[in-house]
Amino acid sequence: MLLGKKRKLGRKIEDITVGEKLKLTEKVEDKDLLLYLGLTNDGNPLYIQHDFASTTSFEKPVVPNIMLTGIVTSAVSKYMPGPGSYICEQHLIFKKPVYHYATIDFLLEVTDVDVRGNLATIRVEGTDEEGAICIEGKVVAQPPKTSNKLTTQAMENF
pLDDT, tens digit (0-9, with 9 covering 90-100), for 134-150:
999 999 999 988 765 54
Topology at the third CATH level for domain 13-29+62-142: Thiol Ester Dehydrase; Chain A (3.10.129)
In whole angstroms, what is the distance from residue 85 CA to residue 12 CA?
9
Q: Which amino acid is at 67?
A: M
Question: So what's the pLDDT on residue 148?
Answer: 59
Note the pLDDT of residue 158.
41
Tens digits of residue pLDDT in 49-74? 899 999 999 999 999 998 999 999 99
> What's the pLDDT score for residue 157?
45
Segments making up each domain of the chain, as ranges: 13-29+62-142
3-class secondary-structure state, position 74:
helix
Q: Which of 93, 124, 90, 130 is nearest to 106 (CA)?
A: 124
CA 27, chain centre distance (Å): 15
Predicted local confidence at residue 34, as pLDDT:
85
Indicate if the pLDDT at residue 17 is higher than 70. yes
pTM, 2 dp: 0.82
DSSP characters for 49-71? -HHHHTTSTT-S-B--HHHHHHH
